[in-house]
């Protein structure tokens, strides 16, 4: 039974200020309730500091990168924003409890942070007990290195930022064979594969087939191939279609 859905944000902007942290926590509570706030946190696992009574410490830790959990060990989160040289993305990951009729909250949360940080890639994904596609696992913990090599797969709900709008084309993304697509700005497009999260969870095989259709529509050359993953896993060659991120090439740093 699927009990959590993971939120992932990738941006080239810095997200490590105390204001960034407080704003994130306030939006978590506003959209998902007080119970969705962290319970324990630390700079690394195992997390030992209690969030209750030490929120100010959590805010300070946020600046250096932090991980946390609530309802341990089922749900967790982390932020990585310490890269001052901008050679990699700033990343936030957060697990939310799956609830029915929560689609609007998922969407509002996604929209807010996509626009605030001009996100390159922001989405929700989940792991099925009988998952078919290895992309599910890769979507859960991707990195800039992965994104510079291939797109792991298509999540249930997300927003393509400028690098992917440039890569696929606005009209191609807007015409994806999914429940809904919306143009937020000229460089940002929202998509939702099924009307409800439960539709995707309860009929995962149909959901998997739909994702394959979306990949075909966008262009399979942008995605990690099943055969390459089966044979080489993380050593799989780069995809033929790749986005261009506004990041500094480490080779250019003196």
How much is the pLDDT for 19?
Answer: 95
Task: Assign 116 a pLDDT band (cuts: 50, 70, 90).
Answer: very high
Of residues 195, 198, 191, the one with CA closest to residue 100: 198
How much is the pLDDT for 244?
Answer: 95
Give me the mean pLDDT over the 63-80 stretch.
75
Using alpha carbons, list the distances in angstroms from residue 46 to 21, 54, 65, 69, 72: 21, 17, 14, 10, 11
> Mean pLDDT of all residues in the chain?
87
Angle, CA of 15, 20 and 25, to the nearest 5°? 125
87 burial (CB, 10 Å; 0-12 / 13-18 / 19+) is middle
How much is the pLDDT for 251?
Answer: 67
**Each residue's pLDDT tens digit, 120-169:** 999 999 887 766 666 677 788 888 988 998 898 899 999 999 999 999 99
How much is the pLDDT for 187?
Answer: 96
How much is the pLDDT for 133?
Answer: 66
Inform me whether the pLDDT recorded for 206 exceeds 90: yes
Least trusted range by pLDDT, from 63-67, 189-193, 216-220: 63-67
Question: For residue 170, what are the contacts with CB-CB under 8 A and spacing of at least 6?
Answer: 183, 186, 189
Q: CA 15 to CA 80: how far, in whole Å? A: 9
- For residues 182 and 127, which has the higher predicted lDDT (pLDDT)? 182
Give me the mean pLDDT over the 172-200 stretch.
97
- Whether omega for the bond prior to residue 60 falls within 30 degrees of 0, making it cis, is no
Task: Assign 83 a pLDDT band (cuts: 50, 70, 90).
Answer: low
- For residues 97 and 232, which has the higher predicted lDDT (pLDDT)? 97
Task: Assign 40 a pLDDT band (cuts: 50, 70, 90).
Answer: confident
Angle, CA of 45, 48 and 51, to the nearest 5°? 115
How much is the pLDDT for 71?
Answer: 65
Q: Which residue has the tokens 């700005």?
A: 185
Edge-to-edge strands, sheet with 180-185: 49-50, 40-42, 66-70, 75-80, 90-97, 4-11, 121-125, 157-160, 188-192, 180-185
């Amino acid at each position: 039974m699927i009990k959590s859905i993971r939120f992932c944000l990738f941006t080239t902007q810095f997200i490590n200020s105390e204001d960034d942290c407080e704003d994130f926590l306030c939006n978590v509570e506003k959209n998902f309730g007080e119970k969705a706030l962290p319970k324990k946190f630390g700079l690394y696992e195992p997390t030992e500091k209690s969030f209750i009574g030490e929120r100010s410490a959590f805010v300070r830790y946020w600046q250096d990168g932090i991980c946390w959990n609530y309802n341990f060990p089922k749900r967790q989160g982390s932020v990585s924003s310490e890269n001052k040289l901008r050679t990699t993305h700033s990343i936030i990951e957060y697990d939310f409890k799956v609830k029915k009729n929560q689609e609007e909250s998922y969407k509002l949360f996604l929209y807010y942070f996509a626009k605030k940080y001009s996100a390159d890639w922001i989405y929700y994904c989940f792991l099925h007990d009988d998952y078919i596609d290895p992309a599910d696992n890769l979507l859960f913990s991707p990195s800039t290195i992965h994104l510079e090599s291939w797109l792991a797969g298509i999540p249930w709900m997300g927003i393509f930022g400028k690098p992917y709008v440039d890569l696929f084309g606005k009209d191609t993304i807007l015409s994806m064979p999914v429940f809904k697509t919306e143009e937020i700005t000229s460089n940002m497009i929202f998509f939702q594969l099924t009307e409800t999260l439960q539709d995707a969870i309860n009929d995962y095989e149909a959901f998997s087939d739909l994702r394959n259709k979306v990949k075909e529509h966008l262009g399979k050359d942008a995605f990690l191939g099943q055969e390459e993953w089966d044979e080489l896993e993380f050593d799989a060659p780069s995809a033929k279609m790749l986005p261009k991120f506004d990041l500094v090439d480490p080779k250019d740093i003196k």
